[in-house]
Amino acid sequence: MPTTPQLIPSLIESAASAIQSHAEEVTALDQAIGDGDHVVNLQRGLGALSKQAESLAALEWPAALQQIGMTLMASVGGASGSLYGTLFIAMGKAMKGREMNPANLAEAFSQGVEAMKARGKAERGEKTMLDVLIPVADVLKSAAEHAIAPGQLAEEVSRAAEAGMESTRDMLATKGRASFLGERVIGHVDAGARSSQLMISAIAEVLSGKSR
């Protein structure tokens, strides 16, 4: 794992590529039970990050994470921008004065997810991206405790993210537009869960040393 954010351009490119490759699918999911603009909003945020990629790579992790968060909050808009912005800003704060290693990353990600839960007033089981992010946080904690190899960790993170995403299919929604649709949302995967799963899996591959 890099001690400085040299991989940030690759991480952004990989996340953006994953969303672009599945744009129609995620948009269809969002049109079924959401507002239909989720992919457009995400791509606007990822585009803004792409323009800053080289300057972000020159920063230390705490500053880079906080800058990513502020950029997403300003460019994505809506609930997703606020939530992703909160995640990265909280991670940046948690990393201050710490080196980047698996244990500190796991702790920072956990704190970021907790901040998201507080901002969105949501928990696991409510058909949101938290159904992906909370299981991933748990895997990162466990991996840090057991010194799992990067390749195995990437596989476990991707598996947890996919299982979390798939779990939203049979859930009722309590947040956003989907919450007004009642049982009609059952059978549909949450678009935010799918997009977060795609980006997390892509990022995990880069961090593990694998190429997409």
The CATH number of residue 33's host domain is 1.25.40.340
Q: Does 28 fall in a domain?
A: yes
pTM: 0.90
Q: Where residue 177 falls among pLDDT bands split at 50, 70, 90?
A: low
- Whether pLDDT at 211 is above 60: no
Q: Which domain holds residue 133?
A: 8-207
Give the pLDDT confidence score for residue 180 in this predicted structure: 45
Handedness of CA 110, 111, 117, 120 (dihedral sign): negative
Q: Closest by alpha carbon to 85, among 103, 100, 66? A: 66
Q: Does 2 fall in a domain?
A: no
- Scan for tokens 């991933």, then name that residue: 136
Q: Does 212 fall in a domain?
A: no
Give the pLDDT confidence score for residue 212 in this predicted structure: 42
Q: Does 172 fall in a domain?
A: yes
Give the separation between CA 69 and CA 84, rounded to whole angstroms: 7
How far is residue 157 CA from its own chain's centroid? 12
**In degrees rounded to 5, what are phi and psi of residue 60?**
-80, 160
Q: Does 135 fall in a domain?
A: yes
Model pLDDT for residues 112-163, shown as the tens digit of each residue: 999 999 998 999 998 899 999 999 999 999 998 888 887 888 999 999 999 9
- Asked if 29 and 191 count as a contact pair (C-beta separation under 8 A), the reply is yes
- Whether pLDDT at 210 is above 70: no
Q: Does 1 fall in a domain?
A: no
- Whether pLDDT at 172 is above 70: no
Total count of domains within the chain: 1
Give the pLDDT confidence score for residue 13 in this predicted structure: 96
Q: Does 137 fall in a domain?
A: yes
Give the separation between CA 15 and CA 38, rounded to whole angstroms: 15
Tell me the CB-side half-sphere exposure of residue 65, using CA atoms within 13 A: 21
Model pLDDT for residues 81-91, shown as the tens digit of each residue: 999 999 999 99
Rounded-to-10 torsion of CA 74, 75, 78, 81: -80
* Residue 64 to residues 76, 90, 115, 187, Cα–Cα distance (Å): 18, 12, 18, 38
- Asked if 171 and 126 count as a contact pair (C-beta separation under 8 A), the reply is yes
- Scan for tokens 């997009």, then name that residue: 195
Q: Does 3 fall in a domain?
A: no
Give the pLDDT confidence score for residue 78 in this predicted structure: 79
